[in-house]
Each structure stands twice: as C-alpha cells, then as structure tokens.
Amino acid sequence: MLSVLLSTVGVMIFGTASYGLYKNRKTFDPVKHMKVSFIKADMAIKKIRNNGKTEYITPDLVDFVEENWGYRFEYKMKNGMSIKAFEAKKSFIETAFNGAAEIRGEGNRLYIDVFTGKVPTECSFNLDEIRDNTWRMILPCFLGISRKGKEYVDLTKAPHGIVGGETGGGKSTFIRQLLTAIAILRDPRQVRIHLFDLKFGLELSMFENLPHVETFVDDVYKVEEALKNINGELDKRGQLIKEKSRKKDIEAYNNSVPEEGKLPYHLIIVDELAEIEDTDSIQRIARLGRALGFHMILATQRPDAKVLEGQIKANCPMKVAFKVINSVNSKIILDNVKAAQIPKEYPGRSIVQFKTEREVQTPLLEEEIANKIIYKRIKELDEFYMQEVDPVVEGKGTPDTTEYC
C-alpha cells in the first residue's frame, strides 16, 4: 500500500514540476524532457560504471516531429528493453507532458505520440468536411474531435462496433449523425441499411423510408425473423463470391467485376441490444460478416455481461463509450473505468477504442436538423429512381449531395 502511495505521489510531483516546465514553450525541449521521463519512470536501463557513477541507457532517438497536435517520437530499442514496459508507464509520460500519449511498437522501433491539446466541449456536424475527408471510405464514420484533431473511420475496417452509454450521454445523437452522413454521401446501390429500433421505433423512424433501408424493425418479436433473413443473405453472398470468382472477400470481388456487378455493403444497426434475448444470429454476423461486407453497430444503454457476451465483444473491435452509471458498466465496454469518469456536463464526450484508446467529443446533429436533411434526401431519391434510365450506366452519375451541406 505504501509503495503504491509513494508511486502516486511521485507521479504527481513529477507531473507538477514537468507542467511548470511545459508552460514555457520557448525553453522547453521535448526530446530532453522525454529522456528525463524515461529515467524518472524507471524506463531506462541503469548501469554502474567502474568509477562508481550511474549511467542511464535510454532508447536511441531516430526521429522527432513537432505536430500541431503535439509531438511524435520514434526510437530504436536497445537489447533488454520491452515495449510492454513502456506501455505500462504511459501514465508517467502523460503526466509529464500534461497531455495524452499513444505508445506502440513495431519490431525494435518504439513510437510515442504525445497530444498536448485539449478535447473541445463541442463538435459540429459538417457534411462538407465529412465528404472531403471520407471520399475514399466505403462506410464513412465521423467519430468526432480528439486531442489529435478530427477523426474518421471506415466502418468496413472496424469491422463491427459497440456504442454504449446512459440516457442523455450522446449515444443516439452519434448514431443519428452516422446514418445521416451515410444516407447523404452514399448511394442506395452502394450501401444497404438494416435498422433495429427496439425503443418502439422512436429513435430511428426518420430513416425508415430511405431507399437505402432494406430492413426496419421496431417490434422485438420480429427481430428473430429479420436477423434470419440477413443471415440468409450472408450465406447467398458467400456462395456467390465462391462460385463466381473464388475471391477471399467482397473487396477483392468488387475489384474484379464491372461497376454494374459490384455488391453493396450492408450496415446493421441495433438499438437497443439488451432487448434481444437470443443473440446467436448476431454472433454469427459478427463472426462471418466482415469478409462478406456485413457490418454492425450494436448500441446499448445497459451494458452488462449478459448483453455484451464475450463472443460479441471479441468480434467488435471498435468501442464508443459515452458516460455510464458506474465503473462496472464501463469495464464491460472498455475493460477500464474511464467511461464512468466522463463528466456529466460534457454530453457527447466519449472514450473511443479502435487501434488505440482516446477521448473524443462526438459530433452534434440535432434531431430537427437531421429530419429536414433526411426528408429532403428521401424526396430527391424517390424522384431520381423513378427515372427509367439507369443513371450510372448512362454516365449521369448519382444524385448531387452538395446542397445538403
């Protein structure tokens, strides 16, 4: 107990002194400061010379870049050094630089990114920006703003995600902006959407009449049949890809066929997961869906071990955790307590886990504005697809979306 207390006090003292140094940016040397951090946090190899003096051996600096979000370090590890040992001391580096850190290793290389900015308390939804930053993505998702800046992810790379949080934390708003962006920026022939709105259809009903939407379920007693149909589509697609091309996945298949033969991706959103008692069909999609272009976002405001079973959690690498009631709920989503520590006065604040963990302010899209955007999109697409001529074949492209931004 005493050693833990002393360690905590050491971090606080080290951090306080470091912060005083950090504030004076003109004289602050981040490379030297990182080396001091290694030594003070016992991340250096300690050797006693013949003359009795102590020598501290730290990783060799290969590259250093000062970014607008903070600092990026690249080191070459020396024999006897472990990446895990540096990862375990991440909190020392974060305290020393008064920021957040990401640590990763590749071979004998150690990469440390230190983010010194603050996470904003607001993040706006801007379709122009989302389009400009995600045009290469298949299922674009604007996560929000972290210390590093605006973050985007292609859900096909995720390939499935869990979104959790108590009422009012930002979960429904996050799903709303995700669906709105995909509805505007992607054609119905590119993306098919399956919505399970098990809160009596109150959250996602505005999207029901989109041409993208193939399934809309707001009755828990109809879930089993709908999921069975989706699994049936999954099986047919697997057979099609195997028999026609023998490619390993939908991406390889679509790259091998002409435009009119490409298969659409499927996005499945379930809100609220806790209402589904038998999750076997969901587990199957989670296991097999990625290669065949079926991707899920599973949302819940009641994260517990029964709702987020081990197999579902293991197959959903992306987690977006908003404020939760207690540390138990947070641990079920993130395996740590950080979601329980999010201040209530920051709605939309989340902890995102995908490749790394970071604090993110998610985009705000008011329900009234989303309704207007989606209503306009539905009207436009209804008129567009009433034309007898196939616009893609005839080279006329797809509906213009710039007017929504």
What pLDDT does 23 receive? Answer: 47
Active site positions, annotated: 272
- Residue 393 in this model has a pLDDT that exceeds 80: no
Question: Known binder of ligand: residue 171?
Answer: yes
Q: Indicate the pTM of the whole model.
A: 0.83
pLDDT in tens, 155-189: 999 999 999 999 999 999 999 999 999 999 999 99
Average pLDDT for 354-358: 91
Both structure tokens of 278: 């038998």
- Domain extents in the chain: 2-115, 127-385
CA distance 176 to 267: 14
Residue 151 pLDDT > 60, yes or no? yes
Ranges assigned E (strand) in 130-178: 140-146, 149-154, 161-164
What are 117's two structure tokens?
């900015």
CATH number of 127-385: 3.40.50.300
Helices 280-292 and 223-244, packing angle to 10 deg: 30
Integer Cα distance of 332 and 317 in angstroms: 13
> Residue 401 has what pLDDT?
53
Tell me the pLDDT tens digit for each residue of 203-247: 999 999 999 999 999 999 999 999 999 999 999 999 999 988 888
Instruction: Give bridge partners of residue 267 from the DSSP assignment.
Output: 193, 295
Does 70 appear as a known binding residue?
A: no
C-alpha 148 chain-centroid distance: 14
Q: What pairs with residue 64 in β-bridges?
A: 73
20 is in an annotated binding site: no
Rounded-to-10 torsion of CA 217, 222, 225, 227? 40
Instruction: Give tens-digit pLDDT for 4-47.
Output: 444 444 444 444 444 444 445 567 899 999 999 999 999 999 88
The per-residue pLDDT for range 243-265, each reduced to its tens digit, is 888 889 999 999 999 999 999 99
pLDDT of res. 360: 97
Q: Which of 27-31, 107-111, 349-353 shows the lowest per-residue confidence on average (mean pLDDT)?
A: 27-31
Is 166 labelled a binding residue?
yes
Q: Is 173 known to sit in a ligand binding site?
A: no
- pLDDT band of residue 295 (cuts 50, 70, 90) is very high
Q: Binding site annotation covers 124?
A: no
Residue 165 marked as a ligand binder: yes
